Structure 1
């Protein structure tokens, strides 16, 4: 009995306290503000959660969309020409013959074969120590020629975009075959010697051609096939005539 009576008295005291609070002027405004605050908080929370859910859904849809798209092929046209040798100690030991160059440079670019001077239609690259080195593809492409020539050593030609091709000759051995797709930096072969230009020792003869006409390889290093321009009419006539007689005018 006593316990029930105490509980009843406690409840009456709480009710009395609430009645006193309700009689105060600020009670109901405070109650309304508190309720409004809870409602606003709930609305903001709903908006934030809704926006986050929408964002996550969009990201999931985008991932699914991207996964369903076929993988884009490697764009070989976006590549730029790289040095066609692995070793860092390789250098140009005989330059390209530029019909518009100075006389001293033109003289250095003449190849003496069988008592005849022939214009060099590429660059001859050799190691500083004169030893053999690995020759690599300057750019991705398709092998259109891979053969052994009695005069030029092993010869490899690679076709690229925009009517451009690269040639590698004076190779002691080759690592590619006709019709093969090669990646940039892939091994083409090993530098060697050739009967045509044996006086300069072990080297690789490297050419870049635009629609069959040789252009200066050094001028297009770190550039793409779209940058390769056909030579001027005078240069084109000279180099095209040489190219038509064989690789490097041979």
Structure 2
């Protein structure tokens, strides 16, 4: 027992002597701090490795993929379609005015309103039985305009890409509002009527525009959005086509019906003949007619005066002779 106590006492004394040294406490502090710092760094590195195994697209520097909606990927796979449920039952009442088409098609693509011809900037689509039908989105996108307009028959506009939109005019019973995300073939409303084209009856006026320039929808049906993105359009050509449409509209107005055309031609020829005869009579009257008439008129007047003078002279001579005979 005494030996064990002596050993313990000797160990305690050694331990006490060891901690009495000045450098021991700073060494313990430094070692503890090193262990703690090592543990923290190891924990952070292990968390970074776990994040690297499960990273997101937003972690890529310089790219912000989540800013674009996921619909864009699906939309790139979509093609423009006719905004009706059954394209086979659809009937195009009026086509797009194309400046490169023949004269007959151009005249058929003119809208006559308020004594003025306007080029059609889209398609007037109806069904063969003339009944109401659902108007569908030609491609997915964001609704940017929903307006009530009696002249155009109300307007819905959907943006599919920057600067590329589709417009749906002559629509009633709206089923979407501004800001809605719509899918392809989603119902937007029902076909209605418009004041600008009452002859079309129940229909929908469908337009595709890029940078506010209308394009021919028939040229982009069953084609992807990229086909229109790559297309280069010039606004000046559209303005020129509108001017040509106005000129051809005036020509077609003159020759719409044979009776009107013949009557107008007769009137024109009558006016020409009338002006010609008027000019002729004016010339004759002013030239030979007036001159000769004036000359003849003055001549007859002179003859009448001379006759009157001679008669008066004769009468005076007779009176003088009677007086002389009486005397």
Deviations 1:183-227 (A, max 9, x none): 111001100100110111110000000111000001000112221
Greater share of residues in strand: 1
Bigger Cα Rg: 2
Q: Distance in 2 between matches of 1:234 and 1:118?
A: 17
Matches of residues 127-166 of structure 1 in structure 2 within 5 Å?
127-166=127-166
Q: Distance in 1 between matches of 2:194 and 2:158?
A: 20
Residues 118 and 242 in structure 2, CA contact (< 8 A), matched pair in contact too: no
Displacement of 1:114? 0.8
Say if 2:84 is the partner of 1:85: yes
| Residue from 216, 235, 238 that aligns with 1:236 | 238
Displacement of 1:152? 1.2
Q: Tell me what 2:123 maps to.
A: 123
CA separation of 1:240 and 1:112: change in aligned 2, threshold 3 A: closer
Displacement of 1:238? 3.9
Say if 2:70 is the partner of 1:73: yes
Paired positions, count: 177
Q: Distance in 2 between matches of 1:230 and 1:119?
A: 21
SS in 1 for 2:154: strand
Matches of residues 40-59 of structure 1 in structure 2 within 5 Å?
none
Q: Tell me what 2:168 maps to.
A: 168
Displacement of 1:150? 1.9
Q: Tell me what 1:61 maps to.
A: none
Unaligned runs of 5+ in 1: 1-66, 242-250
Q: Distance in 2 between matches of 1:101 and 1:164?
A: 24
Q: Tell me what 2:106 maps to.
A: 106
CA separation of 1:226 and 1:195: change in aligned 2, threshold 3 A: same
Q: Tell me what 1:17 maps to.
A: none
Unaligned runs of 5+ in 2: 1-53, 58-65, 244-327
Q: Tell me what 2:226 maps to.
A: 226
Q: Distance in 2 between matches of 1:92 and 1:104?
A: 16
Residues 159 and 166 in structure 2, CA contact (< 8 A), matched pair in contact too: yes
SS in 1 for 2:104: helix
Q: Distance in 1 between matches of 2:148 and 2:225?
A: 27
Deviations 1:88-122 (A, max 9, x none): 41121110000111111111100011111100000
More displaced stretch, 70-79 vs 108-117:
70-79
SS in 2 for 1:160: strand
CA separation of 1:82 and 1:220: change in aligned 2, threshold 3 A: same
Q: TM-score, normalised by structure 2?
A: 0.50
Which of 1 and 2 has higher RCO (CA within 8 Å, sep 6+)?
1
Q: Distance in 2 between matches of 1:167 and 1:120?
A: 13
Q: Distance in 2 between matches of 1:114 and 1:224?
A: 38
Displacement of 1:82? 1.1
